[in-house]
Structure 1
Amino acid sequence: MHIVFCDDHADVIAKYQRIVEDICVRHKIDATFDSYKSGESLLFSMEEIILGADIIFLDVRMPGRNGIEVASVLRENGYGGEIIFLTLFKDAVYYAFDVRANNYLLKETATLKRIEKVFLDAVEIVREKNDEFILLTGIGEYRNVPIKEIRYFEVNQKIVTVYYGHRNFEFVSTIGKLENILFNKGFIRISRSYLVAKKYIRSFVYGKVFMMDGEELPVGRKYYKELKNMMKNGVE
């Protein structure tokens, strides 16, 4: 599990990382950590954050881009992990709903018990997401594919190819059926033949999307408006 801290005060990062590391040791959670001292520096590494960060502890009030703005940009670009706001003010809870933040912690008054509960609740959600699979039926073979690793589906008549991790697998289905199965899982229909995981889209223009690995996929004319709206609004 990869955990990120973003705060303009090094002592706050050190304090919370030390607490979270202790929680991880006691609960046998295998975790790695990164930290950023500004919203701009975090967004500079946005691709790595979107693909690799499971939980982000994010300061609400920072010079430059504040935590609310940073969270909004991350969501708009497909980040599906857990965000926990660090704040001095309780009103952060109102902004949390707008960017689908998991919870918030009051920097100076949060007890160790409160920090542990908020963190472990986020860990549980991450584990539930990571445990999601889709069972696909190929020719003489069944395959359980981790949903979080799927980049896109490509359909050619009734044969569908799923591209995930560094592998692919052919099976029989329809793109409409896949849309229903993966509803609210972060997938976007971009043409008659492609269903794409939003978090793996780096950018898009009229007629094509650019994937994180550099691959380009075609966007159908009738699907462009919905793609634009979903990417803009951070819809999953």
Structure 2
Amino acid sequence: MPHNIICTICARGGSKGVPNKNARIVAGRPLLSHTVNQARSSGLFDCIAFSSDSADYRRLAGQAGADLLIGRPDELANDAAGKIPVIRHCVEHAELATGTTFDLIIDLDCTSPLRLIDDIVACVELVKKESVNNVITAAPARRSPYFNLVERTEEGRIDLARKPARPILRRQDAPECFDMNASIYAWTRAALFEREGLFHPDTALHVMPEERSIDIDSELDFEIVSLLLERRESQL
């Protein structure tokens, strides 16, 4: 059973949709600080490692309570870099720095800060109790590829993204679908380092409501997340 648990928080400095979003002030503090604070407040982690190509982001993460601040190399900081190699790099450097081999890796994304600590706990428990090797989080989809999500085909025709075997007349009758929310990812060490890709036969899902699942990718997203975080802070 996993017992050495690391939290990785990875934030690239070069955002185009919302420039410098991870350092922008939301509910009184930089956006990235909310995620570092959640990790610290959970009490779950033996190490909280923050990875970024931005020295400013690393400074802010240190002020928020991250244990390790890891510089991300240029080849992992461009638009083509995938998430999994970045997390592997972070874990490897954290293991070298601490002399610890981590059994369980929990990655929290700064741009999806509306999660609750209970969501993080649930993902950890899924790996520990259900003997799965990785967990993703998602919200119930607002559109169904079987009913009202369409795509343009190579021939230029508009059609359902996924054609059902027989017509579906009500969205409620379509297969259950989810929108990944980029909030929490969990892996055993073997799954992270020995498997490729995110989806495997034993991948588990933790479902979160829409109001905790907004991933900031635009100014509108930023405004909505700001509103919800400020409302939450005012109710504490």
Shorter-chain TM band: under 0.3
TM (norm. structure 2) is 0.25
Pick the structure with more strand per residue.
Answer: 1
Greater relative contact order (Cα < 8 A, sep 6+): 2
